[in-house]
Chain A
Amino acid sequence: MALLTVKDLSLGYDGQAIAEHLNFIVNAGDYLCVVGENGSGKTTLMKTLLHLQEPLHGEILTGEELKEGDIGYLPQQTLVQKDFPASVEEIVLSGFQGRLGLRPFYNRSEKELAKKNIERMGIAHLSRRCYRELSGGQQQRVLLARALCATGKILLLDEPVAGLDPMVTAEMYQLIKDLNKDGITIIMISHDIGAAVTYSSHILHIGNTVFFGTTEEYVESEVGRFFLTQQKGGLQ
């Protein structure tokens, strides 16, 4: 069975639908990019998938191997975090909260795993540094390491490259692709349609037209072709 099956999902706030009748499936190992114009409900979709918000209609079915809280989430950064006095280690460890339950402290194996995830993100040399002093790209790596502590199966990324310079952006995309190759399923919101079609295996386009399919199908489709040329035109 698929990791995530979304059936006839409508989302929005206070009964006002932003996006309606979404249907898509995410299988283990997929790399799904969610694209669409501003205000088309990409972040709302993410929050609904994470159960941070109730859907207006429809259902989200999770496969048997995916338990609640088994999702790693990379949110957009909040203002509070920008001057938060916390070390990289402390933040990465907090990814284990769901596993902790009522147990008050982290155990040795969790600390080991946190260390491994910090190394995996290539920030071992920063582990005792203060989060607020790191660059944007380094901060994203910290939050990614934290998300990996929460799950080894599926990551939901909300604009992971927002505000990063081109070099760091490319590194970030490569890092995410490597995680995907290691078997972690990726669902990513992206503004960057060029990167989306380069790296992803599937595309979900929401907005006035809804499209779901493989990336090859998307590039050939009418909505995909239109959006691609429009975005490229906009960039020039």
Chain B
Amino acid sequence: MIEKLFLYLEYPFVRYALIVGVLIALCSSLLGVTLVLKRFSFIGDGLSHVAFGAIAIASVLNLTNEMLLVLPVTILSAILLLRTGARTQIKGDAAIAMISVASLALGYLLMNLFSTSSNLSGDVCSTLFGSTSILTLSGREVVLCVVLSVVVLAIFILFYNKIFAVTFDEDFSRTTGMRTDSYNLLIAVVIAVIIVLAMNLVGSLLISALVIFPALSSMRLFKSFRMVTVSSAVLSVFCAFFGIVISILAGTPVGSTIVAVDVLAFLLCYSIGRATGGLAA
């Protein structure tokens, strides 16, 4: 088993997949805590369906670089969805459900009507459940992913205290003179970037798992925001790493294997949390 793994690690595409997978898992777990606490667990799902719709449009238009369309559209939807609270006409969860199913349906419809591909259901399935494209990354794509991950990580660390304040109590933060709207906007943009990145790894139906499972697992165990955040990052990286390794060795689909490991980790954390009443802060 181990020998087989080392043999595989000789191949650059396996190393690329591990690097990219781990980085994506790290980034997506960071804002998970904030989204779970703000009751936005499903936003990942909604946004990834929007991204799916955008990909469909891009392929119909024969765009060579899908990202040029997918990223702006997803960011725009994230901004619209995260404009929280009493001012919006349709409340948070309903808005997410609406946008997500609408873009899913429209995306599939467009692909069906205009697609030139010979393997339509294969295309759709891989967009929804994650493709093997994680195993066919080029050096340039890896570099792009590393750069974006570093940027996301840097933003998160620099704005960590502000993200905490906005998550815990938006009204109070506003009274202290914080520009909470700008920070909500920042959170929305970062989420959108992460979603688009993560679609390569687990596909658009499974992204929510990558965002919320590490956060939920960590919340069973730890009692301070800092520890919950650190722990969900570590946990997410760990699960992604093992998920990818298992999928390579056992030949299972990458995305669903990672999510399965995440679910196992959650069950484990849940049991430990119940048994001990939570670890120390």
**Bound complex: CA A76 to CA B38 (Å):** 17
Q: Is B251 close to A, CB under 8 A?
A: no
- Give the nearest-CB partner of A158 in chain B: B171
Q: Mark B21-58, 1 if CB is under 8 A from A, else 0.
A: 00000000000010001110000000000000000000
Say whether A69 contacts B175, CB under 8 Å.
yes
Known interface pairs A75-B171, A78-B169, A85-B224; A94-B161 also in contact (CB < 8 Å): yes
**Which chain B residues (171-220) contact chain A, with CB distance < 8 Å?**
171-178, 219
Q: Is B242 close to A, CB under 8 A?
A: no
Q: How far is the CB of A233 from chain B (nearest CB, A)?
A: 35
Say whether A52 contacts B171, CB under 8 Å.
yes
Q: Mark B259-281, 1 if CB is under 8 A from A, else 0.
A: 00000000000000000001001
**Bound complex: CA A189 to CA B219 (Å):** 34
Say whether A97 contacts B178, CB under 8 Å.
yes
**Bound complex: CA A93 to CA B160 (Å):** 13
**Bound complex: CA A219 to CA B219 (Å):** 51
Q: How far is the CB of B33 from chain A (nearest CB, A)?
A: 8
Total A-B pairs in contact (CB under 8 Å)?
101
Say whether B171 contacts A84, CB under 8 Å.
no
Q: How far is the CB of A154 from chain B (nearest CB, A)?
A: 11
Q: How far is the CB of B26 from chain A (nearest CB, A)?
A: 19
**Bound complex: CA A47 to CA B281 (Å):** 34
**Bound complex: CA A99 to CA B168 (Å):** 18
Say whether A52 contacts B223, CB under 8 Å.
no
Known interface pairs A50-B175, A52-B171; A94-B164 also in contact (CB < 8 Å): yes
Q: Is A167 close to B, CB under 8 A?
A: no
Which of B157, B174, B178, B225 touches A85 (beta carbons < 8 Å)? B225
Q: Give the contact stretch, choosing among A18-26, A125-133, A194-202, A221-229.
A: A125-133
Say whether B175 contacts A52, CB under 8 Å.
yes
Q: Is B129 close to A, CB under 8 A?
A: no
Say whether A128 contacts B281, CB under 8 Å.
yes
Q: How far is the CB of A7 from chain B (nearest CB, A)?
A: 21
**Bound complex: CA A93 to CA B223 (Å):** 16
Which of B165, B172, B175, B228 touches A51 (beta carbons < 8 Å)? B175
Say whether A133 contacts B164, CB under 8 Å.
no
Say whether B224 contacts A86, CB under 8 Å.
yes
Say whether B176 contacts A69, CB under 8 Å.
yes
Q: How far is the CB of B83 from chain A (nearest CB, A)?
A: 16
- Give the nearest-CB partner of B220 in chain A: A85
Which of B158, B160, B171, B224 touches A130 (beta carbons < 8 Å)? B224
**Bound complex: CA A143 to CA B178 (Å):** 17
- Give the nearest-CB partner of A49 in chain B: B175
Which of A78, A81, A150 touches B175 (beta carbons < 8 Å)? A150
**Bound complex: CA A34 to CA B176 (Å):** 22
Which of A75, A86, A98, A132 touches B177 (beta carbons < 8 Å)? A98
Say whether B175 contacts A129, CB under 8 Å.
no
Q: List 27 A-B contacts (CB under 8 A).
A: A47-B171, A51-B174, A52-B175, A69-B176, A71-B175, A73-B171, A75-B172, A85-B219, A85-B224, A86-B224, A87-B224, A90-B164, A91-B168, A94-B165, A96-B176, A97-B161, A97-B176, A97-B177, A99-B176, A100-B162, A104-B159, A104-B162, A105-B161, A130-B224, A130-B281, A132-B223, A150-B175
Please give 14 more A-B residue pairs, beta carbons under 8 A apart, in addition to A80-B37, A80-B168: A50-B171, A75-B169, A81-B168, A84-B37, A85-B222, A87-B223, A87-B226, A94-B161, A97-B162, A100-B162, A104-B160, A128-B224, A150-B175, A156-B175
Chain A residues packing against B (C-beta within 8 Å): 47, 50-52, 68-69, 71, 73, 75, 78, 80-81, 84-87, 89-91, 93-100, 104-106, 128-130, 132-133, 146-147, 150, 156
